[in-house]
Structure 1
Amino acid sequence: MLFRALKKFFLIPPNWLKDFAGAWVFYTILPHWPGIKPQFKRIARFGPAIGFFIGCIQITIWLILSKLGWPTESLALISVALAIYLTGGLHFDGLIDTADGIAAGQEKQMEAMKDSNAGAIGSLAIIAIILIQISALLKLNNLSIIAIPIASFFGRISPLWAIDKFPYLKDKGMGKFHKDNWKGFLKEIIPSLIIIVIISTIFSIIPETKIVRFNLLIGTLVGTIPVFLIPNWLGNRLGGHNGDSYGASCVLTETLMLIILGFFLEVY
């Protein structure tokens, strides 16, 4: 009976698994899942899970290179570069276009965001954010292996809030299918709640000699504030959201969470 159930599961995968496969394709450059045709409908709900997985890849590389004697400065640079590479620069591209749109003013913001060429403000924004992320990782030092997956995960919850609370800015666009297939924040957040339980379980077994759990808890709770503030600010400033501002929300939230965790987490 178990074999039949597994056979049916993989021969006729449920919609949520096809959406998960779609999220994998959409949010990363990693190889497609064999035997499962991706579906691009309710994929946004799996963005945070993908982010957590990307964060785990980052810290795995961090730990390997650390064992080989690489300095923290190099590890921080590689970690940020790896995140950009694994996502194909999707969210960072959105940050550039959003910054250019805001700089152009309300009358020209959509035109500026459509322009495939990076403007001066967008270029400066991406440089500033990368430098800030690297600085935060240098402050966190070895505790970056805790902060990176948390920030990568919560950064991708912010677009869920943006999709739920704001209209889509265009009749068409790469991100419009998120809004078209949206079932409400409480339903779409369910996969993220599962990841939160997993993260909480992992961190509950961290030895007290490595980190004070209370600081981690408070830092994470404070760090979740940008999850809602950033998409609200962008949505009010732009008059709504699109695919670019979803990406910008992700990057800005992730960056602020790294900074906040840098204030709360200390090596003991």
Structure 2
Amino acid sequence: MADFAGAWVFYSVLPGLPWVEPSFRRIARFAPWIGLTLGAIQVGFWWVLIFLGWPSIAVAPLLLAFGIWFSGGLHHDGLMDTADGLAAGRSRRLEAMEDSRVGASGVLALAMVLLIEMGALIQLGPQAPVALLLAAIGARAAPLWAMAHFDYLRQDGSAAFHREHASPGWDLLPLLPLLALLLPMAGALPLVMGTLVALLVPEWLGRRLGGHTGDSYGATVVLTEAFILLMSALLATAI
């Protein structure tokens, strides 16, 4: 419960749990549950606004803004820093990622991701709520693969505790009830597709960077969420 409370505080700006002192040692295993919470809030806003007569083209950008707000922008900041690092070249990669200034590559990466997500949500229409939940959960599960299979590139980095205290295998256990919950809602094919995206994104980033950092963990979350929404929209169109 202490780790869950830590995940609640670390991954969202929601009020802390008053009955337990948070611990931040092994919080990544509970990140998918925080994703479920944030995704459920977005779904609630979607249903309310659609009920009030808003078109999906207006609701989609609002939901994305709410998602950034409730997560504190933590992962999107990591996306921008990672994009700047990849653009800087291998010799200056970590230096560029540590720079507090955001470069053109970071701005473009964020804009592209938000446009992809917005287009996917508009296309999904009534199927957007289920896709939002799948993306929110899958995106927060993706860094678990990065932590288990790649070295952490900054031993003194602020997110080094994720890798240091990670316990591959056991950290996946809190995810299993969520997968069981999603299966009847999303269906087997979207769930398999989401799982593949959640594995391929951290794998690709880890190979490009030669490992992972706290920034690339955040980038993994945002990119996984965007591609799950995009694949959900493409799958819904094909079916």
TM-score of the superposition, structure 2-length normalised? Answer: 0.97
Name the counterpart of 1:171.
155
Shift of 1:217: 2.2
Q: Is the 8 A contact 2:81 2:215 kept in 1?
A: yes
For residue 75 of structure 1, what is the aligned residue in structure 2?
Answer: 59
Name the SS of the counterpart of 2:190 in structure 1: helix
Name 1:9's counterpart in structure 2.
none
1:56 aligned to which of 21, 26, 40: 40
Report the counterpart of residue 126 of structure 1 in structure 2: 110
2:212 counterpart (241, 250, 256): 241
Matched residue, 1:261: 232
* 3-state SS in 2 of match to 1:156: helix
Q: Say if 2:192 is the partner of 1:221.
A: yes
1:197 to 180, 184, 199: 180
Post-superposition Cα deviations, 1:45-93, rounded to whole Å, max 9, x if no partner, equal: 0011111111110000110111111111111011111110000001110
Deviations 1:3-53 (A, max 9, x none): xxxxxxxxxxxxxx0000000000000001112110001000001111111
Distance across 1 between alignment mates of 2:195 and 2:58 = 28
State how far apart, in whole Å, the 2-side matches of 1:200 and 1:122 are. 35
Asked if the contact 2:146/2:206 (under 8 Å) is kept, the reply is yes
User: How far 1:109 moved relative to its partner?
Assistant: 0.5
Q: Where has structure 1 moved over 6 Å in runs of 4 or more?
A: none
| 1:93–1:244 CA contact under 8 A, matched in 2 | yes
Match of 2:15 in 1: 31
The Cα offsets for residues 226-258 of structure 1, whole Å up to 9 and x where unpaired, read as 211111111111110010000111111111111
Q: Indicate the SS of the match to 1:224.
A: helix
Q: Does 2:21 correspond to 1:65? A: no
Secondary structure of 1:61's counterpart equals helix
Which residue of 2 is the match for residue 140 of structure 1? 124
The residue identity in structure 2 corresponding to 1:198 is L
Structure 2 unaligned spans of 5+: none
Higher-helix-fraction structure: 2
Aligned length: 239
CA distance in 2, matches of 1:267, 1:62: 24
For the Cα contact (< 8 Å) 1:143–1:267, is it kept in 2?
no
Report the residue type matching 1:98 in the other structure.
T
Aligned mate of 2:71, from 60, 66, 87 = 87
User: Could you tell me which amino acid in structure 2 is paired with residue 18 of structure 1?
Assistant: A
Say what the alpha-carbon RMSD is for the aligned residues: 1.4
Helix, strand or coil at the partner of 2:101:
coil
Question: Any gaps of 5 or more consecutive residues in structure 1?
Answer: 1-16, 204-212
1:86-136, Cα deviation, whole Å (9 max, x unpaired)? 000011100000000000001000110001111000000000100110000
**Counterpart amino acid of residue 245 in structure 1:** S
What is the alpha-carbon distance in structure 2 between the residues aligned to residue 198 and residue 105 of structure 1? 42
